[in-house]
């Protein structure tokens, strides 16, 4: 239920992806004023970066942080850096063990929303501008990013229900999704039987886990998107990002909008042209609408 946007610069470097994505999401905020989220890719860190959503009251927050610390100790992960802003608690850890087992246990105890060496997922209630004020998203530089504005309809407005979703168990993969997956329970049970855990009832989380599972089996992102179009039933336009790629997939009925702009420097994709316009104020742009049932990926 929402708006999505993504940007990828073809040349490596420290592009202003934070500010760019903020203005793209601001453009389509009317599609979802309740919460906003960003998945940003910057320089690769030495430590594994984990971001959690924690209670905002002091007592709740310290309880949550303590239980995170205990688990880290259990898995021999050492905190190298930490920061706490708003509803979010971010740490960098030295970790060399089994990521799947580690994050699975971690997710049972705490609301883990981002895991990766170059990925940072920032999401919270409020508009793109409001989230930026809290987390200084604008200062983030890097190569590519995807983002989402959410209209909370059936469920409450909660930061953890916001997008992007990270692919449980697999670092540095994020998705944003606009639409509804109608065979959600069937696909979720299939993945649960393969030992994947789900932490929300949000159908978009399914997309993330589905793709992660395919990538874990050694499939290329391209191929995973191709099978997603047939395996996932419903209406969707979604974006996925890895440390080196972004991609999209669109359902067979083209029920959810998406427009695309590619030039020598960048790929920009969004639910509506107004987001692309923000990149080129006052200029006519040559956008295209991807055909129904198609997918594509772009690499750095």
Binding residues (CB under 8 A) for other proteins: these are 1-3, 27, 30-32, 151-154, 156, 178-180, 235, 253-257, 259, 272-274, 276-277, 282, 284-289, 291-292
From residue 108, give the alpha-carbon distance in Å to each of 101, 104, 198.
Answer: 11, 7, 10
Shortest spacing between CB 255 and other proteins, in angstroms: 4
* C-alpha torsion angle, residues 213, 170, 195, 63 (rounded to 10): -150
Q: Give whichever of 60 and 292 is closer to other proteins, judged by the CB atom.
A: 292
Q: Give whichever of 144 and 148 is closer to other proteins, judged by the CB atom.
A: 148
**28 annotated active-site:** no
Shortest spacing between CB 238 and other proteins, in angstroms: 14
Shortest spacing between CB 174 and other proteins, in angstroms: 20
Catalytic option among 1, 2, 28, 65: 2
DSSP single-letter state for residue 160: G
Q: Give whichever of 197 and 255 is closer to other proteins, judged by the CB atom.
A: 255
Shortest spacing between CB 236 and other proteins, in angstroms: 10
- The set of residues, in sequence order, having a beta carbon less than 8 Å from that of 86 and lying 6+ positions away, is 56, 124, 134, 135
Which H or E run contains 63?
Answer: helix 58-74
Shortest spacing between CB 15 and other proteins, in angstroms: 23
Please check whether residue 9 is in contact with residue 266, taking contact to mean a CB–CB distance below 8 angstroms. yes
Separation CA 258–CA 178 (nearest Å): 9
Q: Give whichever of 15 and 256 is closer to other proteins, judged by the CB atom.
A: 256
Q: Give whichever of 244 and 287 is closer to other proteins, judged by the CB atom.
A: 287
Shortest spacing between CB 232 and other proteins, in angstroms: 15
Separation CA 77–CA 22 (nearest Å): 33
From residue 8, give the alpha-carbon distance in Å to each of 23, 63, 136, 194, 229.
Answer: 15, 38, 20, 33, 22
85: tokens are: 């802003």
Q: Give whichever of 118 and 237 is closer to other proteins, judged by the CB atom.
A: 237
Q: What are phi and psi of 234, to 5 degrees?
A: 135, -160
Burial of 179 (0-12, 13-18, 19+ CB in 10 A): buried
244: tokens are: 């080196």
Q: By C-alpha distance, which of 258, 268, 270, 256 is closest to 1?
A: 256
Please check whether residue 87 is in contact with residue 56, taking contact to mean a CB–CB distance below 8 angstroms. yes
**What amino acid positions are annotated as catalytic residues?**
2
């Amino acid at each position: 239920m929402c708006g999505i946007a993504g940007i990828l610069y073809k040349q490596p470097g420290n592009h202003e992806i934070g500010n760019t994505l903020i203005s793209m999401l601001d453009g389509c905020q009317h599609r979802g004023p309740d919460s906003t989220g960003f998945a940003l890719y910057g320089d690769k860190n030495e430590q594994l970066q984990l971001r959690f959503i924690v209670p905002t009251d002091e007592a709740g927050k310290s309880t949550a942080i303590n239980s995170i610390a205990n688990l880290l100790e259990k898995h021999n992960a050492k905190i190298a850096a930490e920061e706490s802003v708003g509803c979010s608690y971010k740490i960098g850890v030295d970790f060399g063990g089994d990521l799947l087992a580690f994050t699975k246990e971690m997710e049972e105890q705490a609301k883990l929303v981002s895991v990766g060496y170059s990925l940072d997922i920032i999401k919270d209630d409020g508009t793109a501008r409001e989230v930026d004020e809290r987390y200084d998203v604008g200062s983030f530089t890097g190569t590519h990013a995807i983002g989402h504005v959410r209209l909370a309809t059936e469920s409450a407005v909660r930061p953890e229900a916001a997008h992007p979703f990270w692919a449980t168990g697999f670092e540095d993969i994020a998705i944003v999704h606009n639409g509804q997956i109608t065979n959600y329970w069937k696909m979720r049970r299939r993945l649960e039987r393969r030992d994947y855990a789900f932490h929300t009832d949000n159908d978009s989380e399914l997309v993330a886990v589905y793709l992660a599972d395919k990538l874990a089996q050694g499939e290329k992102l391209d191929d995973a998107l191709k099978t997603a179009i047939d395996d996932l039933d419903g209406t969707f336009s979604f974006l996925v990002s890895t440390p080196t790629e972004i991609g999209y997939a669109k359902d067979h009925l083209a029920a959810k909008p998406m427009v695309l702009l590619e030039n020598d420097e960048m790929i920009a994709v969004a639910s509506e042209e107004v987001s692309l316009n923000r990149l080129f104020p006052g200029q006519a742009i040559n956008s295209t609408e991807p055909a129904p049932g198609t997918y594509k990926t772009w690499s750095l």
